[in-house]
Amino acid sequence: MKEIFLAKEGEIALKGLNKKTFENVLMKNIRYSLSDFDVKVHRAQSVIYVRLPDERHNDAAYDRLTKVFGISALCRAALCEKDFEVIKKTAVEYLSDKLLAAKTFKVIAKRSDKKFPMDSPEICNELGGFILEAFPHIKVDVKNPEIAVNIEVREEHTYIHTGNVPAAGGLPVGTSGYALGLLSGGIDSPVALHMIAKRGVKVAAVHFEAPPYTSERAKNKVIELARRLAPYTGGVRFYLVAFTDIQERLRDTLNEHDEDGYFTIIMRRLMLEISQRLAKKDGFDALITGECIGQVASQTMGALRCTDNVCDIPVFRPLIGMDKSEIVERAVAIDTFETSSLPYEDCCTVFTPKHPKTHPKPEIAKALQENFDFEPLINTAVTNTQIMQIKADFC
Ligand code: ATP
Ligand code: MG
């Protein structure tokens, strides 16, 4: 039996003159996500048809398609010839697991090939009867069936399926510019990068490490997070910044026990400064962080004000108004939660002040930072940044 995937374009369908550009990028991204398979992809009327001649990899291919932004819904369908005997057999065979598990069904028939000898009501009646005979436990429910058996008789073939399933949505990655996301090992930042990628932005990641305070395991954890994002983003360019010298210098610059509680805030300002320089150097239009109002002491309204005036490129904070439970739900859905939950240290936690300032003032943060000339250290950090390309498993 032959199977095909039908990928529906969502928001792209609403685009005007540049719709073609969006569609071409989506086609390219679909091919990229299936690049290790022999695959046939074509488009007709806002639907992209994907078929693997070797069907052994269909489950893996389908899973990859669920991660391609720009596809709003997916449908797995059996493909057969336009012969009612074949249609009946194929429907019962292809959907047998679902029909066995369900209590009710109905048949929905669409016949765009008017030369087909049966009309839609006839297809529904005949096939409905055949299914009732083959699965004696099941009943017809036209109002609220558990399964809708769709039969679409089109020009070329007949498609048999149980309807569309919501897919990744959003816009194709590569249609909305470039952004550099600050990726820590936490739960939030991978979700933030994923959300911005969903809007068609090609995202890269920058991570700050502080060896020997932070371990190789902690670094590898963040690389693993980038690898988990890669199927959605078409790979992740990964910038690794050595932050130890700056953190130590900052610790020594602030008064002995950081009584003012500004360490984390100034550290965040320095991270943003370095990130923005990397962004400008390599042509990114914006930064992304996983900040969220009130989540921790460094994300109170006052703290956010202290970090808001560092950059002159936009800093996107897509999680800003979300609850932790909503963020966790997304992290689970995109499969980063488990990795994020590994208990390795982050450079942020290394010198955390005992009493972080919850109502810090931007002018004080700036003044404390200016007690030391960080410029040479910032330059060194930017120059020595390591860059690697993190690919999805399949590349
Ligand atoms: P996350 O779960 O994303 O780590 P968090 O709740 O732990 O967030 P913070 O540690 O306060 O929050 O970090 C706020 C944001 O700063 C992160 O979401 C991330 O964008 C950025 N960030 C923090 N630490 C690092 C790091 N070591 N490297 C890169 N970015 C970082
Ligand atoms: Mg963190």
Total domain count, the chain = 2
Find out whether the peptide bond into 212 is cis, omega within 30 degrees of 0: yes
pLDDT for position 45: 82
Residues 135 and 218 both lie in one domain: no
8 A C-beta contact, residue 142 and residue 109:
no
Residues 152 and 266 both lie in one domain: no
Atom of ligand 1 at shortest range from CA of 349:
10
Q: Beta partners for 80?
A: 158
Task: Tell me how crowded residue 203 is: count the other CB atoms within 10 A of its CB.
Answer: 28
DSSP symbol at 142: S
β-strand pairing of 202-209 with 236-242: parallel
Q: Of 166, 191, 206, which one is at a domain's C-terminal end?
A: 166
The CA distance from 196 to 158, in Å, is: 38
pLDDT in tens, 249-306: 998 888 665 667 899 999 999 999 999 999 999 999 999 999 999 887 778 899 999 9
308 CA to middle of ligand 2, Å?
18
Atom of ligand 1 at shortest range from CA of 181:
20
149 φψ region: left (φ > 0), alpha (ψ -120 to 50), beta (else): beta
| Owner of token pair 């999805």 | 392
**Which burial class, exposed, middle or buried, applies to 307 when counting CB atoms under 10 A from its CB (0-12, 13-18, 19+)?**
buried
Instruction: Decide if 171 is inside a domain.
Output: no
Which residue range is the domain that position 193 belongs to? 178-390
Instruction: Decide if 258 is inside a domain.
Output: yes
pLDDT in tens, 358-375: 789 999 999 999 989 999
14: confidence class by pLDDT, cuts 50, 70, 90: confident
DSSP symbol at 67: T
Q: What is the mean pLDDT of the chain?
A: 93
Q: Which ligand is nearest to the CA of 304?
A: 1
256 CA to middle of ligand 2, Å?
24
372 CA to middle of ligand 2, Å?
25
Q: Beta partners for 165?
A: 74
DSSP letters spanning 8-30 = EE-GGGG--TTHHHHHHHHHHHH
Whether 114 shows a pLDDT value over 80: the answer reads: yes
Q: Which of 2-16, 19-33, 241-255, 353-367 has the highest mean pLDDT?
A: 19-33
13: confidence class by pLDDT, cuts 50, 70, 90: confident
- Report whether residue 347 contacts ligand 1, using a CB cutoff of 6 Å: yes
| Owner of token pair 């498609």 | 159
Residues 299 and 187 both lie in one domain: yes
Instruction: Decide if 241 is inside a domain.
Output: yes
The torsion angle over the Cα atoms of residues 106, 108, 109 and 112, rounded to 10 degrees, is -170
Residues 110 and 191 both lie in one domain: no
Whether 242 shows a pLDDT value over 90: the answer reads: yes
Residues 124 and 212 both lie in one domain: no
Instruction: Decide if 59 is inside a domain.
Output: yes
Residues 259 and 280 both lie in one domain: yes
Q: Which ligand is nearest to the CA of 292?
A: 1
- Report whether residue 9 contacts ligand 1, using a CB cutoff of 6 Å: no
The CA distance from 190 to 182, in Å, is: 9
CATH code of the domain containing 27: 3.30.2130.30
328 CA to middle of ligand 2, Å?
14
CATH code of the domain containing 319: 3.40.50.620
221: confidence class by pLDDT, cuts 50, 70, 90: very high
Give the SS3 label for residue 103: coil
pLDDT for position 355: 73
pLDDT for position 259: 67
The CA distance from 288 to 382, in Å, is: 18
| Owner of token pair 């073939």 | 157
Mean of the pLDDT values across residues 49-72?
Answer: 96
Instruction: Decide if 341 is inside a domain.
Output: yes
Mean of the pLDDT values across residues 330-345?
Answer: 94
First to last CA, the chain: 29
SS3 content of the chain, % helix, strand, coil (to 5): 40, 20, 35
Pick the more confident residue, 352 or 26.
26
> Considering the chain, what percentage of its residues have pLDDT values greater than 70?
97
pLDDT in tens, 149-188: 999 999 889 999 999 999 999 999 999 999 999 999 999 9
Residues 71 and 94 both lie in one domain: yes
Give the SS3 label for residue 257: coil
385: confidence class by pLDDT, cuts 50, 70, 90: very high
Instruction: Decide if 47 is inside a domain.
Output: yes
Residues 310 and 340 both lie in one domain: yes
Instruction: Decide if 84 is inside a domain.
Output: yes
344: confidence class by pLDDT, cuts 50, 70, 90: confident
pLDDT for position 309: 87
Residues 205 and 321 both lie in one domain: yes
318 CA to middle of ligand 1, Å?
13
Residues 77 and 152 both lie in one domain: yes
Q: Of 166, 194, 216, which one is at a domain's C-terminal end?
A: 166
The CA distance from 344 to 121, in Å, is: 62
Mean of the pLDDT values across residues 209-237?
Answer: 96
Residues 149 and 184 both lie in one domain: no
Residues 230 and 113 both lie in one domain: no
Number of H helices, E strands in the chain: 15, 15
The torsion angle over the Cα atoms of residues 392, 347, 302 and 273, rounded to 10 degrees, is -70
Instruction: Decide if 395 is inside a domain.
Output: no
